[in-house]
Amino acid sequence: MGEIVPGVHLVDGTNANSYISIDDDGIMTVVDGTISPKPTPIINYIERELKTDVKGVKLLVITHCHVDHTRGVRWLKELTGANIAIHGDDADYLSGIKAYPYPRGAMGLLFRLSSPFMRSRPVKPDLKLSDGDLVGQLKVIHLPGHTPGSIALHDEKRKVLFVGDALRYNGKELRESPGMFSYDPNLSKTSLKKLIGVDFRVLLPGHGQPMVSSDAPAIVKEFIQGLNIDTNSR
Ligand SMILES: [Zn+2]
Ligand SMILES: [Zn+2]
């Protein structure tokens, strides 16, 4: 995919999506790692497409603790020495201090059975984020639900919004993250309301494709307002 808007890149061949954001001083931030322990696509992209040194990466910001977003982070940290930043409510899962709470029901059982194969090596975060914090030039919006510490990141200057797994976009329509993967699907819907009123023209989801449109905030608002939120469940 490459450069989406000046200074913001989607790296091909990762799963989930990894983004690179380069600020005006040339400092690189990577948003989310790869599902593979070795984040080769990110390293290749920086060296071959951006033609620069991976040591220019100073921040590794993680939208939430799921392995498809975090596995490559440890390797990137060792390679670059960059600071790892994650919301405080997901930090202990990343560092392995706490075991991640599995979803309830059949999906939870599946997770439990597959977990020995899906485990990632723990890595200690350097920065524990809270709602409203600035990390580099990205502002943290806490969206608990998909995981307790899920966040979106808003680049106010470039009008870019990284949403992690809070929303996905397939090029045609928006979706929520599948409820079966979420810690609290209903809270996830409620949290999305915090995105109404945020000023952006580029929506960057953790899975699927970027949405680049001046209508993006209106499209997102309409989608969120159409969600069926069960107010009795909490
Ligand atoms: Zn996830
Ligand atoms: Zn994901």
The pLDDT, as a whole number, for residue 224 is: 96
The pLDDT, as a whole number, for residue 139 is: 98
Is 90 part of a structural domain of the chain?
yes
Is 34 part of a structural domain of the chain?
yes
The pLDDT, as a whole number, for residue 101 is: 73
In this structure, what DSSP letter does residue 45 have? I
Ligand nearest to the CA of 32: 2
Is 233 part of a structural domain of the chain?
no
Tens-digit pLDDT profile for residues 124-141: 999 999 999 999 999 999
Is 214 part of a structural domain of the chain?
yes
Is 232 part of a structural domain of the chain?
no
The pLDDT, as a whole number, for residue 225 is: 95
The pLDDT, as a whole number, for residue 17 is: 96
Q: Which domain holds residue 6?
A: 2-225
Q: Residue 173 belongs to a domain with what CATH number?
A: 3.60.15.10
Is 91 part of a structural domain of the chain?
yes
The number of CA neighbours under 13 Å toward the Cβ of 148 is 12
Distance 165 CA to ligand 2 centre (A): 5
Tens-digit pLDDT profile for residues 14-41: 889 999 999 988 899 999 998 888 999 9
The pLDDT, as a whole number, for residue 105 is: 64
Is 44 part of a structural domain of the chain?
yes
Ligand nearest to the CA of 111: 1
Look at the chain and report how many structural domains it folds into.
Answer: 1
The pLDDT, as a whole number, for residue 177 is: 85
Are 165 and 150 within 8 A, CB to CB?
Answer: yes
**H/E element holding 109?**
helix 105-118
The pLDDT, as a whole number, for residue 37 is: 87
Ranges of beta strands (E only) in the chain are 2-5, 8-11, 18-22, 28-31, 57-61, 83-87, 127-129, 134-135, 138-142, 151-155, 160-164, 167-169, 174-176, 202-205, 211-212
Q: For ligand 2, a single-atom ion, which residues have Cβ within 5 Å?
A: 16, 68, 165, 206
Is 231 part of a structural domain of the chain?
no
List the chain residues with pLDDT less than 50.
234
The Cα 23–Cα 222 span in angstroms is 31
Task: Give pTM, 2 decimals.
Answer: 0.93
